[in-house]
Amino acid sequence: MLRFIFTRLSHMLIALFVITVIVFSLSHLTGSPIDALLPDDATQQQIDSLTEHLGLDRPYYVQYLTFLQNAAVGDFGDSTKWKGNTAAAVVLERLPATLKLGGLAVLISVVVAIPLGVLSAVWRGSVFDRMAGVIALLGQSFPAFWLGIILMWIFAVMLGWFPTSGYGGLSYMILPAIAMAWFQIAALTRLTRSAMLEVLDTEYVKLARVKGVNERSVIWKHAFRNAAIVPVTYFGVLAGSLLTGSVVVETVFAWPGTGLLAIDAIRGRDFPVVQSVVMFFAVFYLLANFLVDVLYAVVDPRIRFS
Amino acid sequence: MFTLKLITPAVLGSFLIAAVGTVPVQAQTIEMVMSPPAVETNRYWNTPGDFALGPSMQGLVGHDPVTGAYDNSGLAESWSHNDDFTVWTFKLKPEAEFHFGWGAVTAADVVHSLALHTGPDTTLNGISQLEGAVAEAIDDHTVTFTLPAPQVDFLFVHGGRGSLVIYSKAQFDKEGLEGYDAKPAGTANLQYVERNIGQGLTFEKVENHWSGQDAQYDRLELNFVAEPATTLAQLLSKEADIVILPRELQGDALGAGFKAIPSTNASNQTTMLFNGTFLLPGYDGLDETLPWLDIRIREAINRSIDRQAVIDVLYDGRAEILPVFGMDPRHEGYVPELAERFEAAYGYDLEKAQALMAEAGYPESFSNPVIPILSSTLAGNPEFPAMAELMQVFLDEAGFQTEIVEMDWASLGGLRSAREAKMFHPMRNLPVKPSAVGIRNYYSATGGPRNNYEDEVIEGLMEKYMVSIDVDERNELAGAIFTRVFEQYAVAPLASISAEVIVNPETVSAWTFPGTTSVGVSHFGSIVPAN
């Protein structure tokens, strides 16, 4: 098991290094922050002065090495858009908002999708199953930004049940969390359903039924426990996609998390913050997948011995 | 949301009403929604001029809310200049005070602020007007600016455009820049409360403000929302009292009973630039394949544009046709005849446009006949992408070969710095700048590298204009430059528009602002609540 964990960790570090190269290169490929920071009537002197001030006149490899060295200790430099703050501080300040919203979205996804998937499989071909199929289809077809705006107009503007947007308590989180969770509900429902169908068709489940075990135990104790391994592996993807999904949903709902921060930073070519956000997303995604790998190995011994 | 929050608990309030017969004190909050600024910071000199701190910070010079003329509603009670406009003296109001007990505004604060604003990290729009300026405190309330060259329009940097706003030196000496980051002391009748990064700013009323004019409400919340649909939703659900909306969404708000309040004067001019028209002899970087180097093509493009349709589609009919980009009746060099001649010289006339194209041999005689039209977005000008599409429709109809080039505004800035923005692209003049600044930015080599047009005649006039200190002569020279711009079809001027806010009339009854700032709105302290 230790060897398995060590191998996965080393893969993570290699991935992280590659990500630093990609992040640094891509952020510089989008252009110079000077162009975003300076006004339309900037003089040559202003351009030169700010270029030097931000260290952008140094060769790319020097800028990259400095970035790498500082990133290793969590220092991504000072934000150019949010002056007076370090990039890491800006990200950390916005992180709780994203985690709160993402956490609620995960909760909604699991609470809705797992029972929906299980019951769809149990009542295969029924009206309930077809309805679940329609929900899954719609969830995977609706773009999150469109769904967000529609939810906002119906439940905030027309009905007045929730605030339209902004940062606040649970009432502010419900609409964006649903917009974020819907796609995942669709995916998780389908995964759970197919895993359950497979398990429900196995001999040990049939044997349990023949032995007279009550149906609730058959479904939740014998079938679901074994089927759950498939949705569990999906949690790594779920965590990552909730972060990336936050970019769209947070922008629509003016929710001040890291997703909206990423958009603002990209628009303002705030390299330190863009790099910081992407590195955070990457580390989060890698950690989530690492945990899923470990969990998977714990649940299924074939994985750690393969 | 315009909230009425009982400061005293209801029960105690009722008791007090019964006891003393007074109305309970109510705290009134105005919520305003606007696009996030390009840079969010309390260090104004680190922004391009996005004056989100406008409610609390002031410059030396103010503006009349109706006419937009400079007045002494800022921190200076009077000013004067020497004969050649190289030394300007400002007398500060002795009663002017900083918030939070940081003391009176003195000449030392002005000197300190100039140093901050002209440092190496400045990104301010129009800062070139302060290049080389030396400020000197003559006494506590008198400060002089000595300039390296005459500047007739020097008040512009001190006014609503706000290239120089005044920070407290006492606060800096004690707390450093961190003090400004945490709670900058301003001087207006609203004072800073807090900034929530990515969300907005809050200000509160200063009781018994030194100017004698207190705000008529208690708190102002500026909320940043990037999505126009979300902004509209906030207004329609009455969470917001005032919003800045793109024109295409304003109809929905007006149809639902909300009210538009425009600035009292035009705040913005829009145009399409023929960038790369660098016609000064001997310039090596000229791309001779650009079709619009031929004046007949520039005229033909101008005549292909139905400006009234542009105004109807982009500005819902609430704009004026602009005769010359950069020229404005409030500034020197205004030539009324150009407005009168506009229809004859620039009027929508497809036949004339096609005749000009044929005369120029378009497209056969051009090695690169395609007109690249830039589609981009710029905060404060959400109509730019639609403008690009409209231009393509008009030009295609006339028979031009066109292509839309999608690019973010910052990338365009990079190309302009490299003088490689060889496109027909939108531009704005917000706020409408003094003629000398506008001419320099757009039509003269002195505005390099980001200018878009140069020719020998304008350069000759510009040399005299920049050094002239005679009012009549300056007026004549600026007028001559605008006439040259007009006759050369140097750009395709489109519209002169006011800044507009949409308000909930149940909570906001009036707001008078002259459209003199880089965000269009100002005079936040004069917002009048409905009740």
Q: Which two tokens stand for residue B352?
A: 């004339």
Give the mean pLDDT of B464-486: 94
Residue B17 pLDDT grade (very low, low, confident, very high; cuts 50, 70, 90): very low
Interface contact B125-A41, CB threshold 8 A: yes
Stretch among B20-29, B66-75, B497-506 having the lowest mean pLDDT: B20-29
Interface touch A260/B226, C-beta < 8 Å: yes
* pLDDT value of position B26: 57
Q: Per-residue confidence at A213, pLDDT binned at 50, 70, 90?
A: confident
pLDDT digits (tens, 9 = 90+) for B82-130: 998 999 999 999 999 999 999 999 999 999 999 999 988 888 877 778 8
What residues does each domain of chain A span?
Answer: 87-305
pLDDT of residue A303: 66
Nearest partner of B209 among B99, B102, B103, B110, judged by Cα = B99
Give the tens place of pLDDT for each residue, B330-380.
899 999 999 999 999 999 999 999 999 999 999 999 999 999 999 998 877
Residues from chain B that touch A156, judged by Cβ atoms under 8 A, are 233, 237
ipTM: 0.81
pLDDT score recorded for residue B23: 44
Domains belonging to chain B, first-starting first, are 266-498 (3.10.105.10)
Q: Which of B229, B230, B417 sits opposite A35 (nearest CB)?
A: B417
The CA distance from A281 to A265, in Å, is 14
Q: Looking at beta carbons, which residues of chain B come within 8 Å of A171? A: none
Average pLDDT value for residue range B436-443? 92
Distance from CA of A165 to the nearest CA of B (A): 7
pLDDT band at B463; cut points 50, 70, 90: very high
Question: In chain B, which among 402-431 make CB contacts under 8 A with chain A?
Answer: 408-414, 416-417, 427
Domain A87-305: CATH architecture, name and number where available: Orthogonal Bundle (1.10)
Alpha helices, DSSP H only, in B316-406? 336-346, 350-360, 384-398
Give residue-wise pLDDT tens across range B315-335: 888 899 999 999 999 899 999
Per-residue pLDDT tens for A9-63?
888 888 888 888 888 887 777 677 777 777 777 777 778 887 887 788 888 888 8
Phi/psi at B352 (5° precision) = -60, -40
A305 pLDDT more than 70: no
Range scoring the smallest mean pLDDT among A26-40, A263-277, B430-444: A26-40
What burial letters (b/e) apply to B217-235, b meaning 16+ CB within 10 Å?
bbbbbbbbbbbbbbbbbbb
Tell me the helices (H) and strands (E) count for chain B, helix number first.
14, 22
pLDDT tens per residue across span A90-111: 999 898 999 899 989 989 988 9
B26-34 and B242-243: which strand pairing? parallel
Distance between CA atoms of residues B340 and B357, nearest Å: 25
